[in-house]
Chains A and B, each alone.
Chain A
């Protein structure tokens, strides 16, 4: 079902190889590029890695983030106000790559900026910036042929989104330009919404595994370190987005600055990391 492994595995595949050898699960977070500024965002990416994040979903700001709840909508607005956009997100990834050549970076956002930049130009620039893949919330595989062809030409992949209600034909697709992992969403509705039950998560992950050999990461609704630990016990990775952004928002609103702020960010991230790495003993 998967593409044959390329001669040089990309950063996402290499990450899973490493984690499997270590007996660990992936910890993924999401941040919007240039939220609240380009420089703060760059520092945050490096902070994530040193606090134990394995893969970064880097949101490219969009004026109309229809798949997102209030927290990520606000993050998009802050980033837009700071001059963020798709090109600046590529610039940010390129700057990040100067000091980090191994952590996979997956862009995450919406179709319109890609369409307006042009799929070929986007794929070329993204590859040059050191991007590894793309998740576009409103870009289903059934519409993606021109984008997939461009991604494949430049060695990038689109990460398919899987949901329990989807037919496998809409996510378990064997096609050049598709790979990395399956983004398994066990709930319906925008980001930052309600959480799925443990049973629902287990079933959703099992269904993904039945239809695809890609690693399975679970996102949407993972709010606490305990939930993350539960997800890590069944999936190949855990994606925590809104919960951490909410925590960082509170930190920014607090009086913490400088190293005290950085330490607090690190502590929040590490709480999830430790939970994910801890042997699972049930909820």
Chain B
């Protein structure tokens, strides 16, 4: 089975991005994890467990689905990769299952993670329940208030949910809280990375586990006789984006477009477009592109999609953008909201606001292409969590 580790240029470095910028006390923990993952990945028994759960617990493979009415006139065909049709946490289930299996294999009895959109929290809580692991999830107060169905679902799965009132009260603060928790409990507890961000080996582990999206999509497109011109994915932590892109990164003729959150779109207002506007810095364990001021303070981010509102970026993606392999687009709140609503009304498909950003970008890209060309849109999860904001009763 190919691994996304081949994307790494040297151990833990993607070009000049990546590394292990953590408290030294975590270094031996990361070293053990690195070895354990390599051993697991070489073990057919681990793959048997992983693939069994991917089929029967997560519901993979997920289909691709071509829209009918949702397509600007004389524009390219739009094909959705439907990870919203998985159980529990959309595409986050891919990495949560693998990392929880790894935790169990390493003899750890507990897992801790963070969540912005709630998807990684639900995914981790569900598989932890299935595997009998104790589970702690951190979520920012702002995100928890906006996505109450996810909060209830996490608790229903028996996880201990810590609501974070500090800093931005969103994903960034939740991640810091989860890392602090892990630092104090690393002898018994595995940190489950929701995204290919953070210190080595997390970016490689998550990208390797998410590469299933790209493998499936590639085969499904070939099967359907489609040759895509472009693939688009919204970047939060980057798990679905790297997952999808990893299947196509070696096809230079296929455009890979990372879609970032533009926030309200008003001049000077906070956004989350750090691949486009970020500077080189060090955040949450890795050297990468971050939204920071000239003194290195992290800037506040904003987006209608909580999963996209984060100031750091995955080091692999930072490298792919800097090297020119991946291009970026920015979509604002209103455009994403409109795309999600029109897709729901026109096609009967409800995608999350995060994916709505990629959808809106695909419309723009599609208008520049011929009607027989194909663009693929990553749907990381369903829009059930966003219903309160998508529809208000009169």
- Residues on A lying within 8 angstroms of B by beta carbon are 61-64, 66-67, 69, 73, 80, 85-87, 110-117, 137-143, 160-163, 165-167, 170-171, 185, 188-190, 193
Tell me if B297 is interfacial: C-beta within 8 Å of chain A: yes
The list of the 6 closest CB pairs from A to B, nearest first, reads A189-B184, A113-B296, A116-B296, A85-B295, A111-B282, A112-B296
Tell me whether B21 and A188 are in contact (CB under 8 A): no
* 6 more A-B residue pairs beyond the given contacts A66-B180, A165-B29, A188-B187, with a C-beta to C-beta distance below 8 A: A63-B167, A139-B282, A140-B21, A160-B24, A170-B27, A189-B180
Over the window 13-40 of chain B, the binary record of Cβ atoms lying under 8 Å from chain A Cβ atoms (1 yes, 0 no) is 0000001111111011100000000000
Tell me whether A62 and B296 are in contact (CB under 8 A): yes
Residues of A within 8 A of B172 (CB): 64
Specify the chain A residue showing the minimal Cβ separation from B25.
A163
Given contacts A140-B20, A188-B184, A190-B184, whether A113 and B287 have CB atoms under 8 Å apart is: no
Tell me whether B283 and A190 are in contact (CB under 8 A): no
Partner of A165, one of B19, B25, B282: B25
Tell me whether A115 and B25 are in contact (CB under 8 A): no
Tell me whether A112 and B292 are in contact (CB under 8 A): yes
Tell me whether B296 and A66 are in contact (CB under 8 A): no
Query: Bound complex: CA of A128 vs CA of B305, how far in Å?
Result: 45
* Least Cβ–Cβ distance between B363 and chain A, in angstroms: 36
Residues of B within 8 A of A171 (CB): 24
Query: Bound complex: CA of A142 vs CA of B285, how far in Å?
Result: 13
Tell me whether B25 and A166 are in contact (CB under 8 A): yes
Tell me if B76 is interfacial: C-beta within 8 Å of chain A: no
Tell me whether B283 and A142 are in contact (CB under 8 A): no
Query: Bound complex: CA of A164 vs CA of B66, how far in Å?
Result: 56
Tell me whether A138 and B21 are in contact (CB under 8 A): yes
Residues of B within 8 A of A138 (CB): 21-23, 282, 285
Specify the chain A residue showing the minimal Cβ separation from B187.
A188
Query: Bound complex: CA of A161 vs CA of B27, how far in Å?
Result: 12
Specify the chain B residue showing the minimal Cβ separation from A161.
B24
Over the window 282-314 of chain B, the binary record of Cβ atoms lying under 8 Å from chain A Cβ atoms (1 yes, 0 no) is 111101001010111110000000000000000
* Least Cβ–Cβ distance between B280 and chain A, in angstroms: 7
Query: Bound complex: CA of A69 vs CA of B180, how far in Å?
Result: 8
Query: Bound complex: CA of A143 vs CA of B183, how far in Å?
Result: 19
Tell me if B360 is interfacial: C-beta within 8 Å of chain A: no
Residues of B within 8 A of A193 (CB): 184
Partner of A116, one of B22, B187, B281: B281
Tell me if B382 is interfacial: C-beta within 8 Å of chain A: no
Q: List 5 A-B contacts (CB under 8 A).
A: A64-B284, A67-B183, A73-B166, A138-B282, A170-B27
Query: Bound complex: CA of A188 vs CA of B183, how far in Å?
Result: 7
Partner of B23, one of A67, A115, A160, A167: A67
Residues of A within 8 A of B179 (CB): 66
Query: Bound complex: CA of A62 vs CA of B290, how far in Å?
Result: 14
Tell me if B147 is interfacial: C-beta within 8 Å of chain A: no
Query: Bound complex: CA of A111 vs CA of B23, how far in Å?
Result: 11
Residues of A within 8 A of B296 (CB): 62, 85-86, 112-117
Tell me whether B22 and A115 are in contact (CB under 8 A): no
Given contacts A86-B296, A112-B292, A166-B27, whether A143 and B176 have CB atoms under 8 Å apart is: no
* Least Cβ–Cβ distance between B270 and chain A, in angstroms: 14
- Interface of B (DSSP majority class): mixed
Tell me whether B297 and A80 are in contact (CB under 8 A): yes
Residues of A within 8 A of B99 (CB): none
Tell me whether A139 and B283 are in contact (CB under 8 A): no
* Least Cβ–Cβ distance between A275 and chain B, in angstroms: 27
Tell me if B380 is interfacial: C-beta within 8 Å of chain A: no
Tell me whether B282 and A188 are in contact (CB under 8 A): no
Partner of A137, one of B23, B27, B279, B292: B23
Tell me whether A112 and B24 are in contact (CB under 8 A): no
Tell me whether A64 and B176 are in contact (CB under 8 A): yes
CB contacts under 8 Å to A, within B155-172, are 166-167, 172
Tell me whether A166 and B28 are in contact (CB under 8 A): yes
Tell me if B217 is interfacial: C-beta within 8 Å of chain A: no
CB contacts under 8 Å to A, within B122-140, are none
Specify the chain A residue showing the minimal Cβ separation from B180.
A190
Tell me whether A188 and B25 are in contact (CB under 8 A): yes
Query: Bound complex: CA of A117 vs CA of B29, how far in Å?
Result: 30
Query: Bound complex: CA of A189 vs CA of B177, how far in Å?
Result: 12
Tell me whether A165 and B28 are in contact (CB under 8 A): yes
Query: Bound complex: CA of A137 vs CA of B25, how far in Å?
Result: 10
Specify the chain B residue showing the minimal Cβ separation from A160.
B24
Tell me whether A185 and B25 are in contact (CB under 8 A): yes
Residues of A within 8 A of B287 (CB): 115
* Least Cβ–Cβ distance between B383 and chain A, in angstroms: 30
Query: Bound complex: CA of A170 vs CA of B21, how far in Å?
Result: 13
Residues of B within 8 A of A188 (CB): 25, 183-184, 186-187
Most buried by B among A61, A112, A163, A189: A112
* Least Cβ–Cβ distance between A256 and chain B, in angstroms: 29
Query: Bound complex: CA of A189 vs CA of B112, how far in Å?
Result: 14
Tell me whether B25 and A116 are in contact (CB under 8 A): no
Query: Bound complex: CA of A62 vs CA of B176, how far in Å?
Result: 13
Given contacts A138-B282, A188-B183, A190-B183, whether A111 and B21 have CB atoms under 8 Å apart is: yes
Residues of B within 8 A of A166 (CB): 24-25, 27-28
Most buried by B among A160, A162, A185, A189: A189
Query: Bound complex: CA of A139 vs CA of B187, how far in Å?
Result: 22
Residues of B within 8 A of A115 (CB): 280-282, 287, 296
Tell me whether A112 and B282 are in contact (CB under 8 A): yes
Query: Bound complex: CA of A115 vs CA of B297, how far in Å?
Result: 11
* Least Cβ–Cβ distance between A190 and chain B, in angstroms: 5
Given contacts A64-B172, A73-B166, A193-B184, whether A140 and B22 have CB atoms under 8 Å apart is: yes
Query: Bound complex: CA of A137 vs CA of B209, how far in Å?
Result: 30
Tell me whether B176 and A112 are in contact (CB under 8 A): no
Query: Bound complex: CA of A190 vs CA of B184, how far in Å?
Result: 7
Partner of A66, one of B176, B187, B294: B176
Tell me whether B167 and A64 are in contact (CB under 8 A): yes
Tell me whether A116 and B294 are in contact (CB under 8 A): yes
